[in-house]
Structures are given as structure tokens and as C-alpha cells.
């Protein structure tokens, strides 16, 4: 196994020490677990689209008028 040295802000080191005491694991084990978790997830999973946020709503409205996108009467009073 290789050794890695890294620099971190004092505030992060303090959080690491507190968490390692709380979980009763070494700082090394906690860092290794965090790295494995971070590197395991695909990078694009962090980007969330508008569709991803509202996908459960897609198709949930029934009986919309067929001309809702083109008929100006549906826009009357919009934004007031």
C-alpha cells in the first residue's frame, strides 16, 4: 500500500478528527471511505437537469386543450 501526504485547512482537519472519534475509526479509514465513495459515483450524476427534478410530474396533467401552446386566450392574465 502506498502513502499519500496531503494538505487541508485546519477547519477540515478538525471536522475529520471529530468524525473519526465519533465513528471510532482512524482518520485514514475515514478518508479512504470518503475517497472510495466519491470516486465510485459517475461524474455526470452530480449534474441535475430540470427534467430530472420534475420527472414525476411529466404526464400527470390530463385533458389539456390541444391548442394550449398556440392559443393566446390561455395567456390572458398570465404574470399579473
- Residue-wise pLDDT for 12-62, tens only, equals 999 999 999 999 999 999 999 999 988 886 665 667 888 888 888 887 778
Q: What is the pTM of this model?
A: 0.50
Q: What is the pLDDT of residue 10?
A: 96
Residue ranges covered by each domain of the chain: 10-58
Residue 27 contacts by C-beta under 8 Å, 6 or more apart in sequence? 16, 17, 20
Amino acid at each position: 500500500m502506498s502513502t499519500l501526504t496531503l494538505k487541508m485547512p485546519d477547519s477540515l482537519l478538525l471536522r475529520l478528527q471529530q468524525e473519526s472519534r465519533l465513528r471510532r475509526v482512524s482518520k485514514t479509514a475515514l478518508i479512504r471511505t470518503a475517497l472510495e465513495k466519491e470516486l465510485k459515483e459517475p461524474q455526470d450524476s452530480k449534474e441535475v437537469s430540470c427534467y430530472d427534478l420534475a420527472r414525476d410530474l411529466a404526464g400527470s396533467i390530463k385533458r389539456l386543450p390541444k391548442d394550449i401552446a398556440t392559443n393566446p386566450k390561455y395567456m390572458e392574465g398570465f404574470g399579473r
